[in-house]
């Protein structure tokens, strides 16, 4: 079922669970928005590779995301998810199409923090679900998506800064090349997983 560990998946918690158990975020917490790209054909693979449009993540990561979302909600914004936990087999499919470690983690070395349930791909939306302008689409492989790229309108730079500063305030770290990707502090220590969930 998994590569490296047996996956404990909690859909609706009824009693205390371990911080490293996987939870289905939509069952675990409310207030988020979702557009799970890899459950659709709207991604760079041009095909759906997830059976379900679910965001699965480790419980302690979910708890951090709830804190972020609560903070953003005070100023009228919310997190919208593009990707969460990603099975290792999906990572391999991505690598076959785009074997560039600058943008796609090599599944045959350390893999991605997504494969460990410790990373999320996100953007910000307003109370109506409208996405804030981040300057590029999700999964844009180019310098314009880098955090250091400054040749963008002030509105875009401010939107990216808001997302980054809020995520970092609650234990998440950005990566250099993708404005949408955040790893939870300490999540590199999780084991790689390869389980898939089936839709109800």
Does residue 98 form part of some domain? yes
Does residue 196 form part of some domain? no
3-state secondary structure of 93: helix
Task: Give the whole-angstrom CA distance, residue 91 versus residue 178.
Answer: 17
Q: Is the pLDDT of residue 74 over 50?
A: yes
Q: Is the pLDDT of residue 92 over 90?
A: yes
Give the number of domains in the chain. 1
Does residue 3 form part of some domain? no
Does residue 29 form part of some domain? yes
Mean pLDDT (whole number) for 116-130: 98
Known binding residues for Zn(2+) are 114, 121, 181
Q: Is the pLDDT of residue 174 over 90?
A: yes
Does residue 27 form part of some domain? yes
For residue 21, the enclosing domain spans: 9-189
Q: State residue 96 phi and psi, 5-degree precision.
A: -65, -35
| pLDDT score recorded for residue 17 | 82
User: Which band of pLDDT confidence, cut at 50, 70 and 90, is reported for residue 12?
Assistant: low
Does residue 88 form part of some domain? yes
Q: Is the pLDDT of residue 1 over 50?
A: no
Is the pTM here over 0.75, yes or no?
yes
* 8 A C-beta contact, residue 136 and residue 142: yes
CA dihedral (129, 134, 135, 141) positive or negative: negative
Active site includes 178?
yes
Residue tagged active-site, from 41, 131, 144, 178: 178
Does residue 4 form part of some domain? no
Q: Residues 176-193: pLDDT tens digits?
A: 999 999 999 999 999 999
Question: Which CATH number does the domain housing residue 40 bear?
Answer: 3.30.1380.10
Does residue 28 form part of some domain? yes
């Amino acid at each position: 079922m998994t590569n490296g560990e047996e996956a404990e998946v909690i859909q609706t918690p009824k009693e205390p669970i371990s911080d490293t158990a996987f939870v289905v975020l939509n069952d675990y917490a409310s207030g988020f928005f979702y557009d799970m790209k890899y459950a659709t054909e709207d991604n760079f693979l041009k095909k759906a590779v997830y059976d379900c449009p679910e965001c699965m993540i480790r419980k302690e990561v979910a708890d951090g995301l709830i804190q972020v979302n609560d903070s953003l909600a005070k100023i009228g914004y919310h997190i919208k998810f593009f990707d969460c936990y990603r099975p290792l087999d999906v990572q391999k499919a991505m690598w076959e199409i785009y074997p560039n470690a600058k943008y796609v983690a090599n599944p045959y070395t350390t893999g991605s923090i997504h494969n460990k349930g410790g990373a999320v791909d996100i953007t910000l939306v307003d109370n109506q679900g409208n996405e804030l302008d981040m300057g590029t689409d999700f999964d844009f492989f180019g310098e314009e998506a880098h955090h250091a790229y400054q040749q963008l309108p002030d509105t875009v730079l401010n939107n990216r800064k808001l997302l980054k500063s809020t995520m970092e305030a609650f234990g998440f770290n950005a990566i250099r090349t993708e404005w949408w990707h955040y790893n939870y502090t300490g999540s590199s220590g999780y084991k790689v997983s390869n389980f898939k969930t089936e839709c109800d």
